[in-house]
Structure 1
Amino acid sequence: MSLDSSAPLQDASRRSASLRLRLGLAMPVVVGAMVGWFEWRDGGFEPLLPGLTHAVELVAALSVALMLLVEALLLRPLRQLASGCEAMESAPAPQAADMPEPRLGAELDRIGHAMHRAQGSLWQHDHEARELRRQLAEQRDLLERAHAALEANQRELASLARIDALTGLTNQRAFDESLRREFKRAQRQRGLLALAVLDLDEFKQFNERHGTAVGDATLQRVAALLNERFKRDTDIVARLGGEEFVALLPGCGMAEAQGVLELVREDLRALHLPDGRGDLTLSIGLAALSPAHPYLSAQALMQAADEALYIAKHAGRDRLSLAA
């Protein structure tokens, strides 16, 4: 009877001794399969390949953690159980009533519950990792959108800083920069540069008769007319403020610019305004830089055009005056 019962106990002892080795070899394979399955379920194997190093590190860490958990909850009790079996083998055979079968069943139940908790913990960590990746992706997307919106706002502000809001023409700040640049270019190349200052006659009274809304619409139509007449890529038309406009014409001499500006005056008379044809007139002062007629600075050229406009106003308006 003792020989027949000792053979299974010795076999159980040998199996428990090799169980740790087999678990140590099988654990990375099982964990790797589980991690691969989770990644495949999230998006296929293509996203897994760039993060292969991370996946290997994750498998190694989980394997070590599970091995330590199995060691504490399974292997150690099994070793204790094997030691108890060996002690029982050397001791006299107990009576059937003294066999600790209920205690052994409770121990196995405890081990089973511990393994179940470990599996649940693994699933929970995987879920938290996937949720963290999703939140990071959302934050990255929000940052990219905010950056794109900021760049768009900066471009819009830069554009508004150089454009007149009412007419869409270049504003005075941008015009002053263009005037200095083109004046230096004309001086360096000994070229031509014409500058005309245009002012709507008695526009204040026009606004009083028709209202500011009609006045604003009229300024927009005048701006469109100037854009139609000065269509070269190098021409610059700007609104200096109120009813005053300016045209900078690189490469144009006095005579050529005068001809175009006279056409502008005729076009303005032909506009259909609230009081009919000829409701508004235009006074123009024109100055031109040339090798035969130089100016010391861009400000001097602008001053000459302003003085010519002053002469046109005091000579009866609705005319073009040339700088001396």
Structure 2
Amino acid sequence: MNTDSLAQPQDDAAMPRRLGSLRLRLTLGVPLLTLAIVVVLTWSRAGPAAPVDELGRIVWQVLLLSVAQLLLIEALLLRPLQRLAAGCEAMESDAMPLQPEGARPAPGLAAELDRIGHAMRRVHGSLRQQDQDAQALRRELAHQRLLLEQAQAALEANRRELASLERTDALTGLANLRAFDEALRREFKRAQRQRGLLALAVLDLDEFKQFNQRHGAATGDAALKRVATLLNERFKRDTDVVARLGGEEFVALLPGVGMAEAQGVLELLRDDLRSLGLPDGQGQLTLSVGLAAVSPAHPYLSAQALMQAADEALYIAKHAGRDRLSLAA
């Protein structure tokens, strides 16, 4: 039995199966590739949420583009291949003699091969263009991602700066009321836990409103800045907290310091303030102080109670003639 005659029908039957398999792969692959390209282009143009928002339009675009591409591939590639396969089948079924080596193919077959080659070149060129577009899109996405990271870094720096401003008094550079409240709660809990010492002094410049009226707001602001500098110089331990509560009122929180030690430091501060040179030699400022302190022998129930005791002591100092220090009971 001639084995060539057995192999021939199998080869003839294999050709339609290959064409059918190729058609199926193209039918599945072209829409998927088109969908990926449309989604990426939509994302780069309108943002990550755009593919979800424009789902209906994307589906129609993918459907129309896929149908157009499949029709083009069918007309330019698959049908010529089918005709070529049919021609080969017909030639083999008629037992056409093999052409001698070096002989030219039949004119119709040559034209068909030229059309197939042209179609293949067009498909290859289209795929290459799509690959170039995809590479350009990836580069653009990388650039946009870099810009986004830079914008996020700048936003984080602005956020940190804003947070710092929210905890700092704009005029004097001291801690503000918000930062002081946090420090008071923290240090009070620590003093309770460790049964340690904590002194709290509330300081108020005497008759500062009249000082502003006599010398002007600009001179008053300059005086407040010099008082803040003096406070920083006097209370310069890492654990000390000096803040401006508002207007001409300041506060000093002194962890680990008892009533007697704090009293001595504050009396020196009052002496320093009397000799403080104010802008353009404009008058003199004095200070009233209310002092309260936590100790194992004199505990307070809460940080608010300690603050209230210092405020009440300041009130007594003001009504006793000002320019003095009053101790909480």
Normalising by structure 1, we get a TM-score of 0.66
1:189 maps to 194
Give 1:252 deviation, angstroms.
Answer: 0.9
The match for 2:209 is 204
Structure 2 regions of 5+ residues with no counterpart? 1-7, 16-69, 98-104
- Identify the match of residue 129 of structure 2 among 119, 124, 128: 124
2:77/2:119 contact within 8 Å kept:
no
For residue 168 of structure 2, what is the aligned residue in structure 1? 163
For residue 237 of structure 1, report the CA deviation from its aligned partner: 0.9
Aligned to 1:314: 319
- 1:247 is matched by which residue type in structure 2? A
Q: Which of the residues 250, 259, 262 maps onto 2:264? A: 259
Deviation string, structure 1 residues 111-163 (Cα, Å, up to 9, x no partner): 34213212211211111210221233234324433443443344334333332
Mapped to 2, the partners of 1:298 and 1:89 lie a distance apart of: 109
Name the Cα RMSD after superposition: 3.6
Is the contact made by 2:222 and 2:279 (CA closer than 8 Å) also made in structure 1? no
Structure 2: distance between partners of 1:210 and 1:88: 120
Contact 1:284-1:321 within 8 A present in 2 as well: yes
Cα 1:252–1:277, aligned 2, differ >3 Å: closer, same or farther? farther
Specify whether residues 212 and 176 from structure 1 end up closer, same or farther in structure 2 by C-alpha distance, changes over 3 A only.
same
Of the three residues 73, 78, 102, the one matched with 1:72 is 78
Equivalent residues, number: 257
Cross-structure match for 1:134: 139
Matched residues in 2 for 1:253 and 1:81: separation?
109
Tell me how far apart the structure 1 counterparts of residues 292 and 285 of structure 2 sit (CA, whole Å). 23
Contact 2:199-2:294 at 8 Å conserved across structures: yes
Report the Cα distance in structure 1 between the residues aligned to 2:306 and 2:162, rounded to whole angstroms: 30
Contact 1:210 1:274 in 2 (8 A): no
CA distance in 2, matches of 1:297, 1:85: 105
* Distance (whole Å) between structure 2 residues aligned to residue 71 and residue 117 of structure 1: 10
1:148 paired with 2:153, answer yes
Structure 1 residues 291 and 116: alpha-carbon distance in aligned structure 2, compared to 1, 3 A threshold? closer
Amino acid at match of 1:72: L
8 Å Cα contact 1:73-1:114 kept in structure 2:
no
The residue identity in structure 1 corresponding to 2:199 is A
* TM-fit CA distance, 1:240: 0.9
- What corresponds to 1:288 in structure 2? 293
Instruction: Give the deviation of 1:241 after TM superposition.
Output: 0.8
Question: Percent identity, aligned pairs only?
Answer: 73
Identify the residue that residue 238 of structure 1 maps to in structure 2.
243
State the one-letter code of the partner of 2:189. Answer: K
| Equivalent position SS for 2:279 | coil
Tell me the distance in 1 between the aligned counterparts of 2:188 and 2:89.
103
1:29-178 equivalences in 2 (<5 Å): 72=78, 75-83=81-89, 101=107, 103=108, 106-178=111-183
Equivalent position SS for 2:289: strand
1:194 is paired with a residue whose SS is strand
Distance 2:270 2:283 in 1: 10
Larger-gyration structure (1/2): 1
Q: For residues 279 and 96 of structure 2, what CA distance do their matches in structure 1 show?
A: 123
Q: C-alpha distance in 1, partners of 2:195/2:78?
A: 94
Alignment check: 8 A CA contact 1:199 1:244 kept: yes
CA distance in 1, matches of 2:228, 2:194: 31
Q: Does the residue aligned with 1:167 lie in a helix, a strand or coil?
A: coil
For 1:233 and 1:288, the matched residues in 2 are separated by 19
Change (3 A) 1:313 1:88: same
Secondary structure at 1:137 match in 2: helix
Report what 1:24 is aligned to. Answer: none
| Structure 2 residue identity aligned to 1:315 | A
- Per the TM alignment, residue 249 of structure 1 is displaced from its structure 2 partner at its CA by 0.7
Q: CA deviation at 1:195?
A: 1.1
Cα distance in 1 for partners of 2:193, 2:95 equals 113
Query: Does structure 2 retain, via aligned residues, the 8 Å contact 1:269–1:277?
Result: no
**Residue type matched to 2:256 in 1?**
G
